[in-house]
Chain A
Amino acid sequence: MWSNLLAARTQMGTSLGFHIIFAALGVGLPLALCVAEGLALWNSDGTWMALAHQWARAFTFLFAIGAVSGAIIEFELALLWPTFIKYSGAIIGLPFALEGFAFFLEGIFLGIYLYGARRLSPLVHWLSSLVIVLSGLSSAWFVVSANSWMNTPAGFHIAHGKITGIDPYAAMLNPSTPYETAHMILACYVVAGFGIASVYAMGMLRGKRDAYHRKGLLLGMAIGTAAIPFQILTGDFNARQIETVQPPKYAAMEGLLHSGYGRPLYIGGFVDTRAGKVLYALVIPHGESLLAHFNLNSFSIGLDRIPKSEWPANIPFIHLAFDGMVFCSFYMLAIGVLFMLPFIRRQFFLSQPRIPERRWLLGLAVLTGPAAILAMELGWMVTEFGRQPWIIYKLLLTKNAVTPAMWMNVTFLVFACIYVLLGITLIILLLQLARRPKPPQVWPELVRGASTAGSQAREGATER
């Protein structure tokens, strides 16, 4: 049997790994929806409107799952880590409460958007989707600011072993917040953009080469490609910041076992902590020093300067996860550029807007969606595994925060089974949704007829 700690960590990790996908799509998809509806109104274009409706239907569903899985996370924070709550609730509870408001606002405007299409003017209807975009963005910011606090706790003093002078706003604006929140919010747009592109590239590969699929692919690619350079840039800022505030995490990410001047960059490979070397890696001499400090012979702290008790547990995994994330990001950047450059050239210089449609390129584009989700999951694992053994860096050990209840194995097993079942069902049902006959795309038909996703769904129900 597993230890209580491991079971609790795995349960929390499973819940978060599941929730992060829906949360990211829930933050990112409204942007695509908002842009598509804006383009539809601007050009009186039925295809864009049909895409917006299809995404609204998918978003409703993702929002619902995100709400439920989010509720689980808030509960599990308290149920699995009661000592963490006792220690930090007063300091970092506030952003969670504010996130509640942002989420509520998102829910209200989703209701207005879905069911108000008949009664609102097109402009007000479009503006309600803009509110969804903004509230989704702010809820991501609030939640990630709480996670940043776990990495760089701030906003309080410790006097005689007691926490005093609590300032919740200073805690929310801790040193990691700007880096982590920017990186995560961009990740949402990357995941949603390339996720959409992936779905429509798949459709085109299956021979559905029509305006509907082209526009879906184009908008997804455009959002993803616009976000990914900034994502890589903020990732770089994050790594530099982590080097100063969390040296063990940085050393594990880069596979730096030994301190020294002019350290090499290890790409891939297995970090063998016992033998003290990195095996099977592509080694770039002086690479790490150059990338981190723009100086070939600068000094970098390795794991040897850090007490073994503060080493993260899965150093080989953290290094590979970090490299995997970076690889996925550059893959997305490359495919995005391959798509968008020819499109921009044709759009603005040859005035024959068409996106590239070669089969090999579509095939590579299908992979960008999974790559985006993989990069996000790996990046999140780097930050969480990298902080171990601390739940609050340098303040509270994870093993001291876990619940004393002894039956964590059982609860983990039950929740893991449910997540697996729900995940499988969800994928099957989303595939069915994608294969449904296309919604009407002729502008007058759309504007006259039932133009809300909600009422369409209801009509669908009566047809059944």
Chain B
Amino acid sequence: MIIAYACAVLLWLSLIAYAILGGADFGAGIWDLFSLGPHQEEKHRLIAQAVGPVWEANNVWLIYLVVGLFTAFPLATAMLATALLLPFGLALLGIVLRGAAFSFREYFNQPIAARETWGRLFGLVSLLTPFVLGCSAAAVASGAIRVFHATTQPALVSAWLTPFALVIGCMGLAICATLAPIYLTVEAQRVRNQYLAEVFRRRAFAGGAMLALTGIGGLVLAPSEAPLLWHGMLNHAIWAVAITIFIGVMTASALFWRRYRLARILIVAEVTALLGTWGLSQWPYIVPPDLTITNSASPASTLQQFFVSALLGMLVLIPSLWFLFHTFKVQERTPMLHEREIEGD
């Protein structure tokens, strides 16, 4: 069933896309919460400007992941939804409140105090979703969700609040807290604000350090807490671990020498490598140890049409995305000229 594997890879890619794009939105919220002290308003504004244009569309990756999963792997989806109802419910809560708080803060004229309250809420709930999603990922990877006769038990706290899960939850936070400031250094450089670029550079180091620490913590705990994942990693993903560590060091170096654009590319590669390594280590399980990609997949007719629909969708989306970025880029390069045109009239 090569098509089942192809669909699994497709869904894994949309998970990575959500982490890279949606993760940065959460990271922006987290650092928004800690943007105190002098130049506070400046930081908030840079964050709002960077998040503003793209954030509505980012939920689509998560939506696509959920609907794709229930189209291609309905049994796995039903089991995950049953077992992890509580953490997924909390993640949803975070998504709703974050979206609402951000748009309430940005789109309406309000007294400063109200805007600050929305801003605080935006920051606080940005902590919730990445953390519980990380915990859920750990619950899946550790093999805590058992399936008997196509049914499973809802887990109140047992599966997703283990020490391993808590570490991976923090890793989820760390990914977001590293992604956002690196993107923001580029933004700050673009508007030629050296001070903010330095602020976000320091934050990127802080987030990166947390990411490295949780990574080590995960590796230490994995042999006992997630044996299947550990053996999978040793068997067929050790090279991916090496690449992930290598890219991580490269990212830190790029940041150290203030090559922000390069650092942005590298952190995207780093998150891709990190999630890719997880996927590769867990291969061929989708919910270890009972559900594999082949034993929980939909019939071939569904998988084929799902895959073809994804290709056709890409055929429409990629030119549209190109057009979007093209429009933005042109705008980025030539705002001054346009201003002069207006004055000249």
Specify which of A68, A75, A120, A406 is in contact with B99 (CB 8 Å cutoff): A68
Majority secondary structure of chain A interface residues (helix, strand, loop or mixed): helix
Residues of B within 8 A of A245 (CB): none
Q: Which of B56, B110, B150 is A110 in contact with, Cβ under 8 Å?
A: B56
A85 touches B331 (CB 8 A): no
In the bound complex, residues from chain B placing their C-beta under 8 Å from that of A109 are 320
Task: List the one stretch of B67-75, B183-191, B276-284 in contact with chain A.
Answer: B67-75
Assuming A90-B74, A97-B310, is B63 touching A74 (CB within 8 A)?
yes
Q: Is A203 in the interface zone, CB < 8 Å from B?
A: no
- Whether A78 contacts B92 in the complex (CB less than 8 A), given A94-B305, A97-B67, A97-B71, comes out as no
Chain B residues near A168 (CB, 8 Å)? 301-302, 305-306
Please give, as numbers and ranges, the residues of chain B lying within 8 Å of A89 by CB-CB distance. Answer: 70-71, 73-74, 77-78, 298
Q: Is A61 at the interface (CB under 8 A from chain B)?
A: yes
* A112 at interface, CB cutoff 8 A: yes
Give A76 to B81 CA distance when docked, in angstroms: 9
CB distance from A351 to the nearest CB of B (A): 36
Q: How many angstroms from the CA of A400 to the CA of B70 in the assembled complex? A: 18
Q: Which residues does chain B contribute within 8 Å of A118, judged by CB atoms?
A: 331, 338
Per-residue interface assignment for chain A, residues 418 to 431, with 1 indicating a CB less than 8 Å from any chain B CB and 0 otherwise: 10001001000100
21 intermolecular pairs with C-beta atoms under 8 Å apart: A67-B56, A70-B59, A72-B92, A85-B70, A93-B68, A93-B298, A93-B302, A94-B305, A97-B68, A97-B310, A97-B313, A100-B60, A100-B313, A103-B60, A104-B317, A111-B57, A112-B327, A115-B328, A168-B302, A432-B109, A461-B45
> What 10 A-B pairs have minimum CB-CB distances, sorted nearest first?
A93-B71, A89-B74, A107-B57, A90-B298, A101-B313, A405-B154, A82-B78, A96-B67, A68-B99, A86-B78
Nearest-Cβ distance from residue A296 to partner chain B, whole angstroms: 48
Select from chain A the residue with minimum beta-carbon distance to B73: A89
- CB-CB under 8 A from B48, the residues of chain A are 461
Residue among A63, A78, A114, A165 making CB contact with B53, cutoff 8 Å: A114
Closest to A463 in B: B109
- Consensus secondary structure, chain B interface: helix
* Segment from B100-108, B163-171, B264-272 that makes contact with A: B100-108
Count of interface residues, chain B, beta-carbon cutoff 8 Å: 74
Q: Does B40 contact A (CB under 8 A)?
A: no
Tell me the residues in window 45-72 of chain A with beta carbons closer than 8 Å to chain B beta carbons: 57, 60-61, 63-65, 67-72
Q: Which residues in chain B, 297-342, are within 8 Å of chain A measured between CB atoms?
A: 298-299, 301-302, 305-306, 309-310, 313, 316-317, 320-321, 323-324, 327-328, 330-331, 334, 338, 342
Complex contact A169–B305 (CB within 8 A): yes
Q: Is B64 located at the chain interface by the 8 A CB criterion?
A: yes
Stretch of B82-90, B192-200, B241-249, B254-262 contacting A (4+ beta carbons < 8 Å) = B82-90
- A414 CA to B70 CA, complexed, in Å: 26
278-302 of chain A: CB within 8 A of chain B: none
Query: Residue B212 at the A interface, CB < 8 A?
Result: no
Given A83-B78, A86-B74, A94-B305, A67–B320 Cβ distance below 8 Å?
no
**Quick one: which of A76, A115, A403, A418 contacts B82, CB cutoff 8 A?**
A403
Q: Does A337 contact B (CB under 8 A)?
A: no
For A100, list chain B residues within 8 Å (CB).
Answer: 60, 63-64, 67-68, 313
Any A CB within 8 A of the CB of B66: yes
Cβ 8 A contact of B107, one of A83, A405, A457: A457
Interface string of B142-158 (1 = CB under 8 A from A): 00000000110110000
For B298, list chain A residues within 8 Å (CB): 89-90, 93, 166
* Given A71-B63, A94-B71, A100-B67, A65-B99 contact (CB < 8 Å): yes
**Within the assembled complex, what's the spacing in Å between the Cα atoms of A353 and B87?**
59
In the complex the two chains form, what is the Cα distance from A419 to B78 in whole Å? 25
Report how far A154 CA is from B75 CA in the complex, Å.
20
Is B79 an interface position by the 8 A CB rule? yes
How far is it, in angstroms, between the C-alpha of A120 and the C-alpha of B338 when the chains are bound?
A: 12
**Would B72 and A93 count as touching, CB distance under 8 A?**
yes
Q: A64-B99, A115-B328 are in contact. Are A458 and B154 (CB under 8 A)?
A: no
Q: Looking across the interface, which residue of chain A has its beta carbon closest to that of B56?
A: A64
User: In chain A, what residue has the closest Cβ to B72?
Assistant: A93
Residue contact B327 to A119, C-beta cutoff 8 Å: yes
A418 neighbours in B (Cβ, 8 Å): 93, 96-97
Contact B88 A79 (CB under 8 A): yes
The one of B81, B97, B320, B331 that contacts A403, using a Cβ cutoff of 8 Å:
B81
Please measure, in the bound complex, the distance between the C-alpha atom of A432 and the C-alpha atom of B104, giving whole angstroms.
Answer: 12
B302 touches A94 (CB 8 A): yes
Q: Which residues of B contact A108 (CB under 8 A)?
A: 57, 317, 320-321, 323-324
Does residue B95 face the partner (Cβ distance < 8 Å to A)? Answer: yes
137-164 of chain A: CB within 8 A of chain B: 164
In the complex, residue of chain A having the shortest beta-carbon distance to the beta carbon of B91: A75
Q: CA–CA, A71 to B89, complex, Å? A: 12
The reply to whether A86 and B154 form a contact with Cβ atoms under 8 Å apart is no
The one of B77, B106, B310, B313 in contact with A78, judged by C-beta atoms closer than 8 angstroms, is: B77
